[in-house]
Structure 1
Amino acid sequence: MSPISLDLGVIGNAAAAALVDRAGSIVWMCAPRMDGDPVFCRLLGGEDGTTAGETGDWSIRIERMASSRQSYVRNTAILETVLEDEDGNGLRITDFAPRFKAAGRMFRPLTLIRIIEPLKGAPRVSVLMRPRWNYGAHAPETTRGSNHIRFILGEQVLRLTTNAPVEFVQRGTPFLVDRPYAFVFGPDERLAAHPLDTAHSLLRETRDYWIDWVRSLHLPADWQDVVIRSAITLKLCSHEETGGIVAALTTSIPEYGATGRTWDYRFCWLRDSFFTVKALNALGATRTMEDYLGYVSNIAAASPQGYLQPLFGIGLERRIDEEIAGSLDGYRGLGPVRRGNAAYSQVQNDGYGSVILSVIQYFFDERLPGMGEESLFRRLEPLGEQAFARWDVPDAGLWEFRTRNSVHTHSSLMCWAACDRLARIAAKLGLADRVDFWRGRADTIRDGILARAWNEEQKAFVSTFEGSDLDASLLLIPEIGLLPADDPRFLSTLAAIEKHLRFGHHLYRYRAPDDFGEPETAFTACTFWLIDALARVGRADDARAIFEDVLAHRNHLGLLSEGIHVDTGELWGNYPQTYSMVGLINAAMRLSRRWEDML
């Protein structure tokens, strides 16, 4: 059994998602949604990856394994793992979740497909299929047929259909791989064709879909492979049926060690979704924005006064109560494992700006088949009213402090952005009275931020009004548009942040102790904000050096988690983190040479 780490591949189809380790074991998958019960949960099974006497994974183990290598099929979400034994026998595992257009709509079932085929000699493998339910607490009841096994996992039933000997799979008996075998795991439904024929047909369709999707992206001249992999990963973190976007596919990967900072990120944060939508829009992948517009429109319709909580379930759930799942020991035994996130009940006032910034392109992008009209603008105005009412009201802030509230500069900045963008939208729609109305409100907030967030002693904007501490979100001031990057006040703020929060090529989000003490890992999204700020002020060489260092800290498949430990360079935090993958795209787009300079 391979050791637990974040050297994991991601497969998915914007409905199902799973994580695969270097040895070809699926160690994490939730069903029936990305925020559901982890039917494969070895990732959180403790230091040795065991849970309640079982491993909670789906392993394909080659006997006497000598080596493994892993890569994605170029420009797809199809993962290949090649295993060799000590005698040179080898096999390939191809993992994917079907996704393609059929009958005029997207086919994206809650299904994983695995194909194993010999490459050299006749390797022997054991296929160990051991799902769990109720967060690792229970093994399923099973029934079997001539070519399938049914797993009764609480209230859901999943089926594995295969052309491999079912007896060997059910008992974990080693067998020779002298021909291709397919494994189709998903709903309790019979296949209409032979499992191998089904798997190969779905593989071809899925490969063609992803290649076409990537072909449509507007890529920078440099680091195209980085951008492509990041964009695909962001797409896999969307729940296309509802339009929601999860912050990460996992729960409870610690921010670092035994800190107790273990949070469930399998929900839709309004601010995280804004950054994801913005990055995909920059690449021309606007469909996610269109789906997300439907998601937030449903949220707004259920919030007639415009109040927004900071996060929602991917099915629009408003209650996401936080509980400890005691049946799982946690990543490397570093619990607790949490299901749900109590931050949903916090006041975080940046969400109003996040939503409006997410959909503003809808009013200006002529490529879209249906552009934003006055009716959509009117639905957004209550969010602006809330932003204006709350811009100087204490909240938990984007870092979600659990024991204290303040008037956070970033929240006020996003409230300003909400009013500012409503004024711009009104101008586009020719609504002169609403332009004046929202411009006046934006100016009021702007004046307040400039007066109350500036600390003369620090010569910098600070985290809270009339405060003295710094945090990395202040680097977003020029990106959001409150001040240009060459404004002396921003340049001074950048210098202060580098002095107090930058350590080599890493940036902490803040250094002041919080509810759990001082942070021990650099927050990777903040490092990307630093890269953007440096590039904006003309320090492109510095920005590029930091970017190359971050690229070196990605795992073997080019993916990032939430944070990087400054001393060890190890990845920590929930995975894959949309914030971090967005940062890769934004940095590559900003630092790349122009196409004209390449040709």
Structure 2
Amino acid sequence: MAERYPNVADHGLIGDLQTAALVDTNGTIDWFCCPRFDSPSIFASLLDAERGGFCSVRPATDDYVTRQLYIPNTAILITRFMTEAGVGEVVDFMPIAKGPATDRHRLVRLLRVVRGTMSFVAEIQPRFDYGRASHTIESAEGEGVMFSSADQTLTVHRVGGFVMHGPERAGKVEVVGDGIRVTGSLDAGEITGVVLESGGAKPKRVSPDELTEMFRDTRRYWREWNDRSTYTGRWREMVARSAMTLKLMTYAPTGALVAAPTAALPEQVGGERNWDYRYTWVRDASFSVYALLSLGYTDEAEAFVAWLMDRIHESVGTGSGPLKIMYRVDGSSDLVEETLDHFVGYRGSIPVRIGNGAADQLQLDIYGEAMDSIHLADTHGLQLPHVGWTQVAEMLDWVCENWDRPEEGIWETRGGQQNFTYGRFMCWIALDRGIRLARSRGRPADVVRWTEQRDAIYGQVMSKGWHPERGAFVQHQDTDVLDASLLVMPLMGFIAPRDPMWLSTLDAMDKELVSDSLVYRYNPSASPDGLRGSEGTFTLCSFWYVDALARSGRLDDAQFTFEKMLTYANHVGLYAEEIGLTGEQLGNFPQAFSHLSLINAAVNLDYQLDHGSGFVDPVLRKGRRAT
């Protein structure tokens, strides 16, 4: 089965800021949902090679070598094929979808030969609604093809004269199953291709000039966006690629950042930890504000904070708490979890889940992350209006009343609620940031109550979250299990990075959670989480570990660990959620948490290396966190 499913890492990502597609190193689009990240799939052979659907372009021979790369400073992907007869390449990109949400999205596949001659086979096999909906094929002679289901369409526009030819100078187009196949060859300098378009457009011939304009506009957009970055540190290429990856996972009409553009890719091949990440987690996206502002992307940070404030506004006065832990990109909260029983899953990993049953969990930490991002935005001139502050104050009043409750925690375990240490100290962050805002802006608030509750949280974490026998802060009050989420305690200013209690905790994590610079979230065998199987090390935690090392005075260790982590990126600089025992990427891909934590670690480590450990980095100097 493995040969039919490429490695998770063997992909590049393209997108238009409303949806995205994965292209593997053999030139196959094996994941594409439309018109949004969280829409049903059109191509999903990554989850089922037979039923999922795909769009492939490859040499007609099996004797070839591939290379994949991005055009520098862009999200335009090149997959190059090298054979004895010639060198050809597929250039994949999506023109940026500008303005409000739209059903019209274009995906360009440009095929060219740069040396010699090459014969190709191209195949388009859409499968709508995760392979559950039938479709019709309508051919427009000389123009293209339209695939139509009850709710979705995919139009294939021909490019120019579609010059791919065979020995008789005539390429062959045929219907194969529920799709089409094109075979033929190109000589050096010849170009052809297709434009795939959603939204019901009629097939047409795309002129070379129109194609050139789409390419140049897309290239210009990404280069101009990349040029806005203010980062001038040591790891510019990796930071720039991570920033563009975050941008590709941002739904521009609302500013919401999805956790990943994929669903059901396993944390353990053959296991059941297969979640749908095509939604916006308050936690993940809140951490992105720090990454975006540290690179100078104020507009993107402001857009997300506005999205977050809309969610707070909608939920004030509801009985379930001011915020849900995740939403769809449009802000709606219908995320009913279901399984696609007709899909066999990535290399047999079932169940294949869409939707997310964790959406209704109680995770108290989200209030700390949300308030930290709001406070950070305020320090950069993005102040809350009166109504916004009133709603934030109501949310913090709710935190005062509810912080001392069992909950599911940051890792969304399904083994029952606990008094998680991370959730507690993040409630401290929520109240601390609210107090700072109230005082610095002279806003009305029950500061006395907020302060009393903040201090009560601090006392509980220091007494019940600390395990004297382990000499470490632990996952929750009724265990001795370590948890890598606590690596952010000094980063967020809850504890001094050289406090003996913290240094002892870091030493314990070194011995138990760190494996050759890679960091596990926790030990699931020691802390049952309601799920079978194991998982790899968590990339987010590994980058948190870098920052914790640097702030604790271990700068050499921090730099070595960071640069070692860079070697685990895939061939185009992308990271999944986890890294397995043999260095393979696991989980949904690419993962926003992984890339935003890389950016944050790079920015913070640069500053520590330039100024000495213990200094507050440039983003934090404006008063975000006390260390």
Q: Report the TM range for the smaller structure's normalisation.
A: over 0.9
Contact 1:424-1:435 at 8 Å conserved across structures:
no
Find the counterpart in structure 1 of residue 22 from structure 2. Answer: 19
For the residue of structure 2 that corresponds to 1:28, the secondary structure is strand
CA drift of 1:434 comes to: 4.7
User: In structure 2, how many angstroms separate the alpha carbons of the residues matched to 1:162 and 1:237?
Assistant: 28
398 and 343 in structure 1: CA distance in 2 versus 1, 3 angstrom threshold: same
Secondary structure in 1 matching 2:110: strand
Pairing 1:99-138 to 2, within 5 Å after superposition = 99=96, 110-138=105-133
Distance change in 2, residues 1:71/1:449 (3 Å): same
Alignment partners' CA distance in 2, 1:260 and 1:205: 42
1:592 — aligned with what? 606
1:302 is aligned, of 305, 314, 322, to: 314
1:418 is matched with which residue: 417, 430, 443?
430
Please list, as runs of the form range in 1=range in 2, the aligned pairs for 1:61-460 lying within 5 A after superposition: 61-64=58-61, 65-87=63-85, 89-99=86-96, 110-146=105-141, 147-163=143-159, 164=162, 168=173, 170=175, 171-178=180-187, 179-186=190-197, 187-190=199-202, 194-305=206-317, 306-366=321-381, 371-431=383-443, 434-460=446-472
| Cα distance change, pair 197–318 in 1 and its aligned pair in 2 (3 A) | same
Query: SS of the residue aligned with 2:334?
Result: coil
Change (3 A) 1:76 1:348: same
Query: Residue 325 of structure 1 contacts residue 336 of structure 1 at CA under 8 Å; is this kept in 2?
Result: yes
Alignment equivalent of 2:34, drawn from 20, 31, 34: 31
Instruction: Structure 2: give runs of 5+ residues left out of the alignment.
Output: 164-170, 612-627
After superposition, give the CA deviation of every residue in 1:478-504 in whole Å (9 maximum; x if it has no partner). 112111111111111111111221122
DSSP 3-state at the match of 1:541: helix
Distance (Å, rounded) in 1 between the aligned partners of 2:286 and 2:18? 20
Task: Give the 3 Å change call, closer, same or farther, for CA 220–492 of structure 1 in structure 2.
Answer: farther
- The 3 A distance-change label for structure 1 pair 422 and 109 is farther
- How far the C-alpha of 1:591 sits from its partner, in A, is 2.5
Instruction: After TM superposition, give the deviation of residue 317 of structure 1 in Å.
Output: 2.2
Distance in 2 of aligned mates of 1:44 and 1:585: 30
The separation in 1 between residues aligned to 2:4 and 2:216, in whole angstroms, is 30
Following TM superposition, by how much is the alpha carbon of 1:2 offset from its aligned partner in structure 2, in angstroms?
Answer: 6.8
CA distance in structure 2 between the aligned counterparts of 1:549 and 1:357, rounded to whole angstroms: 29
Q: What letter corresponds to residue 376 of structure 2 in structure 1?
A: Q
Find the aligned partners of 2:394 and 2:371 in 1 and give their Cα distance. Answer: 11
Q: Once structures 1 and 2 are overlaid, which stretch shifts more, 70-79 or 328-337? A: 328-337
User: How many Å separate the matches in 2 of 1:388 and 1:444?
Assistant: 10
Aligned with 1:172: secondary structure?
strand
**Retained in 1: the 8 A contact 2:59–2:119?**
yes
CA contact (8 A) 2:157 2:205 kept: no
Does the aligned pair in 2 maintain the 1:73–1:79 contact within 8 Å?
A: yes
**1:21 CA drift (Å):** 0.4
2: CA distance, partners of 1:169 / 1:408? 59
Q: For the residues of structure 1 that align with 2:603 and 2:232, how far apart are their CA atoms?
A: 6
- The letter of the residue matching 2:182 is T
Stretches of 4+ aligned residues off by more than 4 angstroms: 105-109, 190-193, 432-437, 593-597
Distance apart, 1:177 and its partner CA? 2.3
Deviation at 1:246, TM superposition (A): 0.9
Structure 2: how far apart are the matches of 1:397 and 1:152?
43
Distance 1:551 1:433, change over 3 A: closer
Structure 1: which 5+ residue stretches go unaligned?
A: none
Alpha carbons 1:127, 1:169 under 8 Å: kept: no
Correspondence for 1:493: 505
**Contact (CA 8 Å) 1:234, 1:578: kept in 2 or not?**
yes
2:196 partner letter: F
C-alpha separation between the residues in 1 aligned to 2:365 and 2:608?
Answer: 34
Q: Which position in structure 1 is the counterpart of 2:623?
A: none
Segment drifting more, 430-439 vs 412-421: 430-439
Distance 1:192 1:160 in 2: 8
Residue number in structure 1 paired with 2:595: 581
8 Å Cα contact 1:182-1:196 kept in structure 2: no
* CA displacement 1:395-448 (0-9 Å, x = unmatched): 000111113111111111111111111111112212376544433332232222
1:503–1:444 distance in 2 versus 1, CA, 3 Å: same
The one-letter code of the counterpart of 1:156 is Q
- CA contact under 8 A between 1:100 and 1:205: conserved in structure 2? no
The equivalent residue for 1:44 is 47
Check 1:580–1:507 CA distance in 2 against 1; reply closer, same or farther (3 A cut).
same
Per-residue deviation, 1:241: 1.2
Bigger shift: residues 400-409 or 586-595: 586-595
| C-alpha deviation, 1:574, in angstroms | 0.7
Displacement after TM superposition at 1:36 (Å): 1.3
Shift of residue 101, structure 1, vs aligned partner: 6.5
Change (3 A) 1:546 1:498: same
Q: CA deviation at 1:374?
A: 3.3
Cα distance in 2 for residues equivalent to 1:479 and 1:429: 24
- SS at 2:117's partner residue? coil
Contact 1:16–1:97 under 8 Å retained in 2: no
User: CA separation of 1:525/1:354 partners in 2, compared to 1, >3 Å: closer, same or farther?
Assistant: same
Per-residue CA deviation, residues 454-495 of structure 1 (Å, 9 max, x unaligned), is 111111111112532210011111112111111111111111
Amino acid at match of 2:44: C
Q: Is the 8 A contact 1:394 1:407 kept in 2?
A: yes
Question: Quick one: structure 1 residues 529 and 181, their matched pair in 2 at CA, closer, same or farther if it must change by over 3 Å?
Answer: same
C-alpha distance in 2 between matches for 1:342 and 1:524:
23
C-alpha RMSD of matched pairs (Å): 2.3
Structure 2 CA distance for partners of 1:594 and 1:301, relative to 1, 3 Å: closer
SS at match of 1:143: strand
Give distance in 2, aligned partners of 1:140 and 1:358: 45
Cross-structure match for 1:8: 11
Do residues 571 (structure 1) and 573 (structure 2) align? Answer: no
SS at match of 1:266: coil
Closer/same/farther in 2, CA of residues 518 and 497 from structure 1, 3 Å limit? farther
- C-alpha distance in structure 1 between counterparts of 2:20 and 2:98, whole Å: 18
Kindly, what percent of the aligned residue pairs are identical?
34
Q: Deviations over 1:103-149 (max 9, x none)?
A: xx899952211111221123121220111023123453111113121
Q: Is the 8 A contact 1:37 1:135 kept in 2?
A: yes
Moved more, 443-452 or 73-82: 443-452
Count how many residue pairs are aligned between Structure 1 and Structure 2: 584
Aligned to 2:166: none
- The one-letter code sitting in structure 2 at the alignment partner of 1:256 is Q
